[in-house]
Structure 1
Amino acid sequence: MARGIGWFDAFREVAPEWVVVVLGLVTQLGDVWFLSALVGALYVFETGNRDGIAAIAGLLLAGLSLITGLKHLFALPRPERVLVEVGALPEALHPLYEATATATGYGFPSGHALMSTIVYLSLAEYSGVSTRRRRYLGAAGLVTAVCLSRVGLGVHYLVDVVAGVGVGVTFLLLAWGLLNRYPTHRGTLGFSLAVVVGAAALVPSGMDADALLLFGASLGALAGWQLAALARALDAGRGPIREDRPLTARVAVIAVALVSLVALIGLFWPTVILAGSGALGLVVAAVVAASERYRSGQASGI
């Protein structure tokens, strides 16, 4: 399948060698580590919009599972080209080049384009910084910069990033329709979407290691969020649990998620990746629940 439009060679002829470093740094704005650190920091330190940030964390996990499934479904290669040969750069820049300006695996659609679309547009939608118009303009600028960096580095065709943005926007419109219909349950719905998309991604990926780990992390995040919500409700004087249907439902979700994670470890221990998925989920559950309890204590002055 031809996905290029033939302009890259002309760009490579005129681009100075240093531009690969600039593009390599810009592309990190859409990398998993940066987006995860950004959302994680907001989740830990933001106290005024718990559900909104939790929803974004859930959408981040769902997006990672979505791109994993789509890449395996289409299984299209990346371009066989580089903007600058590594040998043309000073030796001191070689590690930076390898870390920021190269990529492996399938190329369609672009994961950086999809994930930056999901995270930055969700922050524009749910954060309270500045005005709505400025938030969206900033998000659009960041997504555009990430997409151009991926094409400019030669690790994606233009159609890859366009498809990534298109899938990201479509996913967000569907997800936001659900989240905005039940604004007091955005965190629960966000993490639930992550579990559903994570489970669906296991099929086209053929139980790929990344898909399994993401599914475990999504289950753990949902369980941890429910644990924290249950604790807050009990602190507020609700209960007993057996007489409160919403609390009973939370306990059921927690039990199913934690039992599933423990089962992954106990039943599949010889298979490291399956056991690892369960272990990762339990760690994520503990981190999410502990973070929520810490923030609740800070908010109440404890």
Structure 2
Amino acid sequence: MSRGLDWFDSFRSVAPEWSVVLLGLVTQLGDVWFLGLLVGTVYWAATPARRDGAAAVLGLTLAGLSLITGLKDVFALSRPERVLVAVEALPEAVHPLYRATATATGYGFPSGHALMTTIVYLSLAEYLSVGTRRQRYLAAAGIVTAVSFSRVALGVHYLVDVGAGVVAGLAFLALAAVLLSRVPDHRGTIGFALAVVVAVLSLVPARTNPDAVLLFGASLGAFAGWQLAALVRDLEAGAGPIRSSRSLTARATVATLVVVALGALSVTYWTAPVIAGSGLLGLAAAAFVAAPALYRSDHVGGLGGRSPVRSQ
């Protein structure tokens, strides 16, 4: 089945061999490691006043990872059996770089790079305050286009794969915008709650897919970590004591129950690496999200801005 790669042979006939390295580097802008590093840095660099918006971006990023995991298992469509340049045609010194950046495995529809770049870069365009809003969105659109093109040009996706990924990302952001606009004072909670909900839904088609299980633990832990971070923030703002406030009591209870449950998973299912790993990853995510609030990093310069997405 051809899903729209009719021009690939023509492109391959004119593309120089070195272009595969350049395209491989461009595609890293949509790789999980880079997006995670980028969003994590934004979250930690945010001032306490801006961290709620940064938390929403982080939550939407986690939700996007679960969304693409579930969608790929729903459609279960293979990747193209083509490559832009055979590895044998390249100097041996760049073989490791080629394999690390310009190859892919697993299902191909929709494109995870296209979906994730759409969610992450458009969310950051709304959150950040660098330049004008128009400039940020143009830059985000440019990155999404470049990454999507690189995936098709490398031969790891059909054109319709990246198109579907962008559309799915935009649809998810539209839904998130509606929810976030209704509860603007709890954007972080909404973002991480979305991550948990999407992670649960992705477990249905993914079944025993290790990625789906690990993302469920990470999303649950991040949600608990944010409840702890928000609890510390509210207490520092003078909202307390905990026992006299229903919202503070709820945050403390949820954070405690989730952390205990994740710890129990890690200990009880130590013979099942994926389940135990999900619990450990959840605890790590909780610590990562809560740490800035516990450390009271008021001295860190925030990147400022508005909510990650909002209704237009």
| TM superposition score category, shorter chain reference | over 0.9
Letter in 1 for 2:32: V
Q: How does 1:251-266 map to 2 (within 5 A)?
A: 251-266=252-267
**What is residue 105 of structure 1 aligned with on the other side?**
106
Closer/same/farther in 2, CA of residues 185 and 71 from structure 1, 3 Å limit:
same
Secondary structure at 1:185's aligned position in 2?
Answer: helix
Letter in 2 for 1:168: G
Secondary structure at 1:58's aligned position in 2?
Answer: helix
**What is residue 193 of structure 1 aligned with on the other side?**
194
**What is residue 20 of structure 1 aligned with on the other side?**
20
- Counterpart CA distance in 2 for 1:5 and 1:228 is 47
Closer/same/farther in 2, CA of residues 295 and 39 from structure 1, 3 Å limit:
farther
**What is residue 290 of structure 1 aligned with on the other side?**
291
Which moved further from structure 2: 229-238 or 185-194? Answer: 229-238
Deviation of 1:235 (Å): 2.3
**What is residue 309 of structure 2 aligned with on the other side?**
none
**What is residue 124 of structure 2 aligned with on the other side?**
123
**What is residue 9 of structure 1 aligned with on the other side?**
9
- Counterpart CA distance in 2 for 1:280 and 1:123 is 25
- Counterpart CA distance in 2 for 1:178 and 1:115 is 19
Deviation of 1:46 (Å): 2.0
Deviation of 1:265 (Å): 1.7
Deviation of 1:296 (Å): 4.3
Contact 1:52 1:127 in 2 (8 A): no
**What is residue 211 of structure 2 aligned with on the other side?**
210
Letter in 2 for 1:175: A
In structure 1, stretches of 5+ residues that fail to align are: none
- Counterpart CA distance in 2 for 1:295 and 1:234 is 12
**What is residue 43 of structure 2 aligned with on the other side?**
43
Q: How does 1:130-145 map to 2 (within 5 A)?
A: 130-145=131-146
TM-score normalised by the chain length of structure 1 = 0.96
Q: In the TM superposition, what whole-angstrom CA distance separates every residue of 1:99-133 from its partner, at most 9, and x where no partner exists?
A: 11000000000000000000000011121111111
**What is residue 240 of structure 2 aligned with on the other side?**
239
Q: In the TM superposition, what whole-angstrom CA distance separates every residue of 1:157-213 from its partner, at most 9, and x where no partner exists?
A: 000000000000000000111112222211111111111111111111013111111
- Counterpart CA distance in 1 for 2:244 and 2:192 is 25
**What is residue 61 of structure 2 aligned with on the other side?**
60
Contact 2:84 2:153 in 1 (8 A): yes
Which moved further from structure 2: 154-163 or 239-248? Answer: 239-248
Between the aligned residues of both structures, percent identity stands at 68
**What is residue 31 of structure 2 aligned with on the other side?**
31
Letter in 2 for 1:39: V
Closer/same/farther in 2, CA of residues 170 and 94 from structure 1, 3 Å limit:
same
Contact 1:51 1:187 in 2 (8 A): yes
- Counterpart CA distance in 1 for 2:127 and 2:178 is 13
Deviation of 1:249 (Å): 1.6
Closer/same/farther in 2, CA of residues 88 and 295 from structure 1, 3 Å limit:
farther
TM-score normalised by the chain length of structure 2 = 0.93
**What is residue 248 of structure 1 aligned with on the other side?**
249
Secondary structure at 2:204's aligned position in 1?
Answer: coil
Q: How does 1:89-104 map to 2 (within 5 A)?
A: 89-104=90-105
Letter in 2 for 1:35: L
Number of residue pairs the alignment of both structures matches: 300
Contact 2:118 2:170 in 1 (8 A): yes
Contact 1:12 1:83 in 2 (8 A): yes
Secondary structure at 2:238's aligned position in 1?
Answer: coil
Q: Whose relative contact order is higher, 1 or 2, with alpha carbons under 8 Å and at least 6 apart?
A: 2
Q: In the TM superposition, what whole-angstrom CA distance separates every residue of 1:243-280 from its partner, at most 9, and x where no partner exists?
A: 21111221232133213212322332211110110011
Q: In the TM superposition, what whole-angstrom CA distance separates every residue of 1:11-44 from its partner, at most 9, and x where no partner exists?
A: 1111111111110010001110111000111111
- Counterpart CA distance in 1 for 2:208 and 2:153 is 32
Q: In the TM superposition, what whole-angstrom CA distance separates every residue of 1:71-121 from its partner, at most 9, and x where no partner exists?
A: 111110000000001111111111110111000000000000000000000
Closer/same/farther in 2, CA of residues 277 and 7 from structure 1, 3 Å limit:
same
Letter in 2 for 1:281: G
Contact 2:115 2:169 in 1 (8 A): yes
Letter in 2 for 1:4: G
- Counterpart CA distance in 1 for 2:244 and 2:234 is 13
Contact 1:225 1:292 in 2 (8 A): no
Secondary structure at 2:270's aligned position in 1?
Answer: coil
